[in-house]
Amino acid sequence: MLLKDKVAVITGGAGINGLGFATARMMGEQGARVAILDLAAADPQAAAARLGEGHMGVVANVTDKASCEAAAAAVQARYGRIDILVNNAGVTQPAKFLDITGADYDRILDVSLRGTLYASQAVLPAMLAQQSGAIVCISSVSAQRGGGILGGPHYSAAKAGVLGLARAMAREYGGSNIRVNCVTPGLIATDINKGKIPDDKRQGILDGIPLARIGEPADVAGCVVFLASDLAKYCTGVTLDVNGGMLI
Ligand code: NAD
């Protein structure tokens, strides 16, 4: 088992069709005790119960620093340590550049970018005390292409910001044996894009993916587990593309 006795925190992990929940499930299968953090409306306790015994769900809003700190304290109170953080919470909005309002910009950047800052700040004291840890941030191919298939320019900016924030953390905390890496998923079948791919665009999208299919949440989860595990113990500041070859 790749994550035996590790304690993993996953933000935005409650949606059972999402990347976060797929990662939570795979981490549980690999021996980790998993804390799923998500908004109350997403019911993280129910999601954690689906993983079986020994896991926990915590209501947390990643845009709220105090909420992240309270969640990290709850995880430490239960398990006594935090080994892994997956910064997965994110929201998207298709939009044209000139149509983006200040409120749109704040909402999209708040969850992906500020959320990555606050959740990471909340777990880093535990990792520093342990002198070990692995953080995996979920960015997006939108950050690399400068435009999403479904996300707007503000989403691209938020996810590009995540890459920079992660590399800065990787540089600052490498000496404390804390690794920070990113995955950049391409188009993955989850609730975030369900029903949003117009039928007349689907074939064109598939033509741009050498592996000729839309990704599954488990395709991303496997790469997150790898980066969080000791198999990747000499990797930090890495960006792992999980997009079926979309950027070739
Ligand atoms: P999803 O909507 O199923 O998951 C997002 C989760 O984030 C939800 O459970 C939601 O409740 C949670 N969330 C939203 N705001 C939050 C907040 N303020 N605090 C805590 N949790 C919050 O979608 P998904 O596709 O599984 O997305 C997971 C991550 O992967 C996101 O960061 C997304 O941007 C990224 N991503 C997805 C794709 C894709 O094609 N599905 C591609 C690239 C990147």
Q: In which band, very low, low, confident or very high, does the pLDDT at 197 lie, cut at 50, 70 and 90? A: confident
Please give the distance, rounded to the nearest whole angstrom, from the Cα atom of residue 164 to the centre of ligand 1.
19
C-alpha span between 151 and 148 (Å, rounded): 5
Predicted local distance difference test score (pLDDT) of residue 69: 98
Residues 6+ apart with CB under 8 A from 234: none
Residue 7 has pLDDT above 70, yes or no: yes
Confidence of residue 9 (pLDDT cuts 50, 70, 90): very high
CATH superfamily of 7-242: NAD(P)-binding Rossmann-like Domain (3.40.50.720)
Mean pLDDT computed over every residue of the chain: 96
Which residue of 58, 190, 202 sits with most ligand 1 atoms within 8 Å of its CB, as the best mutation to test the pocket?
190
For 166-181, the pLDDT digits (tens) are: 999 999 999 999 999 9
Residue 193 confidence (pLDDT): 79
* 0.80 surpassed by pTM: yes
- The pLDDT of residue 148: 66
Rounded distance from Cα 30 to ligand 1 centre (Å): 22
For the stretch 133-158, pLDDT in tens is: 999 999 999 999 997 677 899 999 99
Position 34 pLDDT exceeds 80:
yes
**Percent of the chain at pLDDT exceeding 70:** 99
- The tokens for 232 are 């990747």
CA of 192 from ligand 1 middle (Å) equals 7
* Catalytic residue list contains 234: no
- Kindly tell me if the per-residue pLDDT of 205 is higher than 70: yes
Ligand 1 binding site (Cβ under 6 Å of any ligand atom): 11-12, 14-15, 18-20, 38-39, 42, 60-63, 88-92, 111-112, 115, 138, 140, 185, 187-188, 190-193
Contacts 24+ apart (CB under 8 A), 21-25: 21/47, 21/217, 22/216, 22/217, 22/218, 22/220, 22/221, 23/86, 23/88, 23/217, 23/220, 23/221, 23/224, 23/225, 24/48, 24/51, 24/55, 25/51, 25/221
Mean pLDDT in residue range 62-77 = 98
Q: What is the pLDDT of residue 150?
A: 77
ipTM: 0.99
Q: Which atom of ligand 1 is nearest to the CA of 42?
A: 11
Candidate list 79, 155, 173, 234, residue with the active-site label: 155
- Does the structure show a pLDDT above 90 at 201? no
